[in-house]
């Protein structure tokens, strides 16, 4: 039982890192980026290529996945995404889903459709067991690493948003971009940096999740619905909402598939429907935000 809870928390933390960039994009720019999973896939493939072909250590691969995908996100934001900000939401959906399909086709052409494997370093392999019987906790070392890393990232993001000048400018841009621009805040630069960080986090999530979730060209489409569930249930105006939603969904998904394998997938969607009927705006909304 405790092991299931532990695995659910690890899965939820991974979903949070994968989806938080989408939450920020939706909350800040009111832009529906259904190609968000393509950035995660890019991070996963960067990790695989660096490890398998260049022999780069795993931790360096995580850092490079964050940086390189963040730079890719900044480039695409400046060239492709920015002109779409003022377009109707249907145009944004069609544009971003088109990008996702292009990414899927491109990766399938260059890398093939087979599943990619990540060879974890020895210190992340294995499992430690504590206790006995029903109260035994079996901690996979890699899942423990994911929990610790994602918790640290959450603290850094929360401090960045609440304690720094950039966070103040970001919140101002979220609440009213026109007034923020009138006060001298370069909203375009704030959007660019935020989009790049969100893309980088997706890349990092893809690199971390390649071993657990699997990695193939269908990754952006396979997990798109999970990213959207985290964002819709948690809300888009804070970090806390997507975090709690990701943990809730991660635990429910792991427990559901363990206890009721044939109905496991339905539990997540049932939970989403019940939460949205209770709070259509998401679990957490920031006062004064949109």
DSSP string, 163-200: HSHHHHHHHHHHH-HHHHHHTT--HHHHHHHHHHHHHH
Is residue 29 one of the residues assigned to a domain? yes
Q: Look at residue 127 in the predicted model and tell me its pLDDT.
A: 81
CB atoms within 10 A of CB 272: 20
What is the band of 46 on the pLDDT scale with cuts at 50, 70, 90? Answer: very high
Is residue 250 one of the residues assigned to a domain? no
How far is the C-alpha of 110 from the C-alpha of 103, rounded, in Å?
A: 11
Query: pLDDT tens, 226-277?
Result: 888 888 888 766 778 888 888 988 888 888 888 887 776 788 888 888 888 8
Q: What is the pTM of this model?
A: 0.88
Is residue 214's pLDDT more than 60? Answer: yes
Long-range contacts from 278-281, C-beta under 8 angstroms, 24+ separation: 281/235
Strands 127-130 and 137-140, how do they pair?
A: antiparallel
Q: SS3 helix, strand, coil % of the chain, rounded to 5?
A: 75, 5, 20
Mean residue pLDDT across the chain:
86
CB atoms within 10 A of CB 155: 11
Phi, psi values for residue 191, rounded to 5°: -60, -45
Q: Which domain holds residue 166?
A: 1-124+137-224
Q: Look at residue 203 in the predicted model and tell me its pLDDT.
A: 94
Is residue 173 one of the residues assigned to a domain? yes
Is residue 258 one of the residues assigned to a domain? no
- Of residues 145 and 238, more confidence is placed in 145
Counting the structural domains of the chain, the total is: 1
- Of residues 145 and 136, more confidence is placed in 145
Is residue 244 one of the residues assigned to a domain? no
What is the band of 176 on the pLDDT scale with cuts at 50, 70, 90? Answer: confident
Is residue 279 one of the residues assigned to a domain? no
Phi, psi values for residue 88, rounded to 5°: -60, 155
Q: Tell me what the mean pLDDT of segment 17-23 comes to.
A: 85
Is residue 148 one of the residues assigned to a domain? yes
Is residue 53 one of the residues assigned to a domain? yes
CA distances from 146 to 16, 70, 205 (A): 11, 20, 10
């Amino acid at each position: 039982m405790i092991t299931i809870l532990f695995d659910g928390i690890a899965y939820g933390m991974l979903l949070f890192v994968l989806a938080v960039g989408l939450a920020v994009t939706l909350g800040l720019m009111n832009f529906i980026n259904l190609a968000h999973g393509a950035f995660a896939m890019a991070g996963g493939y960067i990790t695989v290529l660096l490890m398998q072909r260049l022999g780069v250590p795993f931790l360096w691969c995580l850092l490079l996945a964050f940086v390189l995908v963040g730079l890719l996100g900044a480039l695409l934001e400046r060239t492709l995404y920015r002109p779409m900000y003022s377009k109707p939401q249907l145009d944004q959906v069609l544009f971003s889903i088109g990008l996702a399909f292009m990414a899927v086709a491109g990766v399938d052409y260059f890398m093939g459709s087979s599943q990619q494997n990540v060879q974890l370093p020895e210190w992340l392999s294995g499992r430690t067991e504590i206790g006995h019987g029903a109260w035994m906790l079996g901690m996979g070392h890699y899942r423990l690493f994911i929990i610790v890393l994602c918790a640290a990232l959450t603290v850094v993001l929360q401090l960045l948003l609440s304690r720094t000048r950039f966070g103040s400018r970001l919140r101002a841009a979220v609440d009213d971009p026109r007034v923020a621009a009138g006060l001298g805040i370069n909203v375009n630069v704030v959007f660019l940096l935020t989009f790049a960080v969100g893309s980088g986090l997706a890349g990092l999530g893809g690199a971390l999740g390649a071993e657990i979730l699997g990695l193939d060209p269908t990754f952006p489409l396979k997990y798109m619905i999970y990213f959207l569930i985290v964002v819709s249930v948690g809300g888009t105006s804070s970090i806390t909402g997507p975090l709690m939603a990701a943990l809730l969904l991660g635990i429910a998904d792991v427990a559901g598939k363990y206890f009721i394998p044939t109905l496991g997938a339905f539990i997540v969607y049932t939970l989403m429907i019940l939460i949205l009927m209770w709070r259509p705006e998401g679990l957490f909304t920031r006062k004064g935000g949109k």
